[in-house]
Amino acid sequence: MSQQESIAMNPLEKKEQKSDKPKTLKDLLAQANVQSQIAKAVPKHITPDRLARVAMTELNRVPALRECDPASFIGAVLQCAQLGLEPSLGLGQAYLLPFKNKNKGITECQFIIGYRGMIDLARRSGQMVSLSAYAVYEYDEFDYELGLHPNLTHKPSQEADRGKLTFVYAVANLKDGGVQFEVMSRAQIDAIRAQSKAGKTDYSPWATHYEEMAKKTVIRRLFKYLPVSVEMSKAVGYDELAEAGVSQQNESILDDVDYNVLENVDTETGEVVNG
């Protein structure tokens, strides 16, 4: 091939290379270097393909996630993977939500831990025999006392309509035989929701799964009195950042991936607008 022919083909080669760049977050998730990072992060019970499918399901469920900085989205997915949690509304272990970062002028993806995720993390710590949380309704029989002889009794109403939710509580049975419990009223739960940046949107689990988020809240408070693992402490720390609307900086977990290719994204389709 002559030098002139070689030079003439260069623009085509460049166009070919350009077309190989990911055009959507779905394409980005399928990239070999992203898949490699997912594979390194996921525990044995979650495959990289499954995690990628779960992430795509959440993108379709919450279209506003398409507006997120790509690095923060992939980073949030990987953070969930490292904690052994699947970010899925159906499983209730963790949720991916968009947050406005006013300091950076961008939308970031952050994750919050769900009720089932909190219980799963606690069980994996090896310090607890069991951890449970329950909702109390106004027609239930419920009483508790603290002090030197703490006690709690709860007899759920057998009626189809148990009335309004009034309390939630969590009980942990420890390996050493001890028992710890925590009770929160509806007013306390609503006060925390009102302060939560994650509780103010229609796609928030607070809007769709209030009881489970209330249980998660009382479990997180109970964690303060339990022997927790490093993994649990890390998860609670990330969860509190998201609830406070503070950046989790999930992109810091990433390396060797060019995320700037998705800077101009159509929020309706998730595809690149220009290029």
Reported confidence tier of residue 230, pLDDT bands at 50, 70, 90: confident
Mean predicted confidence (pLDDT) in 265-274: 46
Burial 253-274 (b: 16+ CB within 10 A, else e): bbeebebebbeebeeeebbbee
Cβ partners under 8 Å of residue 46, min gap 6: 81, 84, 86
pLDDT digits (tens, 9 = 90+) for 65-107: 888 888 889 889 888 888 888 898 888 899 999 988 888 888 9
pLDDT digits (tens, 9 = 90+) for 128-166: 899 999 999 999 999 999 999 999 999 999 999 999 999
111 forms bridges with which residues in the sheet? 96
Instruction: Give me the sign of the Cα torsion angle 73, 79, 84, 87.
Output: negative
Mean predicted confidence (pLDDT) in 210-215: 94
| DSSP H helices in the chain | 3-19, 25-30, 32-41, 48-61, 70-82, 115-124, 186-195, 205-208, 210-222, 230-244
Cβ partners under 8 Å of residue 14, min gap 6: none
Distance between the two ends of the chain, CA-based, in angstroms? 30
pLDDT digits (tens, 9 = 90+) for 17-46: 444 555 566 677 777 777 777 777 777 777
Instruction: Look up the pTM and report it.
Output: 0.76
pLDDT digits (tens, 9 = 90+) for 167-207: 999 999 998 889 999 999 999 999 999 988 776 777 788 88
78 is written with which tokens? Answer: 């990987």
At residue 15, what are phi and psi to the nearest 5 degrees? -65, -40
pLDDT confidence of residue 101:
87
pLDDT digits (tens, 9 = 90+) for 97-113: 998 888 888 899 999 99
